[in-house]
Amino acid sequence: MFKKIVLWALSIILLVVIAGYGYLRYTGMVPRHNYETVPPVLPEFKRPTVLVFNKTNGFIHREGLPAADAMLTELADELGWDVFITNNAAVHNASDLKRFKMVVWNNTSGDVLTEEQRRDFKSWLQQGGGWVGLHAAGGDPSYQWDWYADVLIGAQFIGHTMEPQAQDADVYAVAPANDLTSHIPSPWNVKHEEWYAFDQNPRAKGYDILLNIDETSYITVGETHFGMIDSMEGEHPLAWRHAVGEGKAFYSSIGHYAPTYSVPEYRELIKKAMVWSAQ
């Protein structure tokens, strides 16, 4: 009888472990190292085209990814552009990148490019390319490419709100309003979002800060789950832009939840960022 109870208990534990591991793989909490070396076959584009890159070797934003894809497709159509959506990182080669008006990294996570792809992407951007990064593109602690975190993003993600994770908060366009933020109300109360914190303010590197968040408008608790920190000392930026050689880069940390991509103010911000980065 005792042996049966022990075997039953061990079976239950094993099932729990298997289920837990399966859930972690489903969410992307188990890092992957999948790298493509054969690029996708590109169609003949009839209009200027946006490359939307959705690769996830880390956490998978199952809500945000498709919602952002839909938004980006609609915005590109409004601009008279086409969209090519892929999770094949091998599209980041010198030949194919020249065919795109600009590139959006949509909630990418983990380490996604080979060394050769990194060189080609960096060279393309520095020679006049345009890049827009959304949410997880700058919100993953597992970067293995120093230039990406230190220069392209300009700061390292250190955590996000967890108690609760989704909160309303007041966001402000940095005064004076500019070409990207002139439509943003003051304050802009953003509903039900996850708020990132970073290890430093990219302003110190000369980056143009576009949006700040008022930390008194939502709950911060310092260290949160898994050792993450959800607050910053002083100015707490959410979106910024800067030059990368002859190219342009824009990053927004907003966009964890699908409904955010239907918010008119956010759609307009990303649309303007796409135009700015492509100029």
pLDDT in tens, 115-130: 999 999 999 999 999 9
Q: Is the same domain home to 133 and 193?
A: yes
In this structure, is residue 127 part of a structural domain? Answer: yes
Give the chain's domain count. Answer: 2
Confidence of residue 7 (pLDDT cuts 50, 70, 90): low
Q: Is 16 exposed, middle or buried (0-12, 13-18, 19+ CB in 10 A)?
A: exposed
Distances, alpha carbon 209 to alpha carbons 4, 11, 172, 251, in Å: 64, 54, 11, 10
Q: Is the same domain home to 102 and 7?
A: no
- What percentage of the chain exceeds 90 in pLDDT? 82
pLDDT in tens, 143-200: 789 999 999 999 999 999 999 999 999 999 998 878 999 999 989 999 999 999 999 9
Q: Is the same domain home to 49 and 26?
A: no
Q: Is the same domain home to 222 and 94?
A: yes
- Region 112-116: mean pLDDT is 96
Residue 9 pLDDT greater than 70, yes or no: no
In this structure, is residue 252 part of a structural domain? Answer: yes
For 92-161, the three-class secondary structure string (H helix, E strand, C coil) is: CCHHHHCCCCEEEEECCECCCCCHHHHHHHHHHHHCCCEEEEEHHHHCCCCCCCHHHHHHHHCCCEEEEC
In this structure, is residue 35 part of a structural domain? Answer: no
Q: Is the same domain home to 188 and 242?
A: yes
Residue 97 pLDDT greater than 70, yes or no: yes
Predicted pLDDT at 65 = 98
262-273 b/e (C-beta count within 10 Å ≥ 16 → b): ebeebbbbbbbb
Regarding pTM above 0.85, the answer is yes
Q: Is the same domain home to 99 and 15?
A: no
Give the domain extent around 26: 1-30
